[in-house]
Structure 1
Amino acid sequence: MVLNLLFRSLEIWLTVRLLRSPIFHRMVGRVHQKVQHIRYGVPPEEQGGTHLEGQDMKYKKFLEHFKEELKDQMKGNPRNKF
């Protein structure tokens, strides 16, 4: 009986200590993240979201097409691109 009580007390103490540990919570968070990635795929916010690193190139392409369109209109022969 006393031995059972001692083991139960030790179990409670170890459980409390584990649950208060930040390392344990980080590990659980990583496991949860892996499971979510497997089940639902990688969320857009982890993939770069709006892809801000490639926005500069899009603006350059737009400006090139815009300049080309203005030149064509100034010549009087706008192209039908459709």
Structure 2
Amino acid sequence: MNSALDRLAQLPLGTRMVVRHRIDGGLTDALGDLTARDGQGCTISTRTGPVRIKYDDVQLAKAVPPPPPRRARRTPA
């Protein structure tokens, strides 16, 4: 097992993380919360919806800090 898969196996569900994985034509990242894990892969809940990733496609995985707070809207002076 590679270190990315070790991390995915050890981190608790709900951890915010980024997972780089293979897709047709290259690689992409999924950034969000780890919401599910089974014998075949994991699910990352991203802003645009859940992303199912097979373990065979995982290249890198790491926990990341929470997103910064949103800035207040500017009001015209």
TM-score by length of 1: 0.18
Higher-Rg structure is 1
Which structure is higher in helix share?
1
| Bigger relative contact order, structure 1 or 2 (CA pairs below 8 A, ≥6 apart) | 2
Which structure is higher in strand share?
2
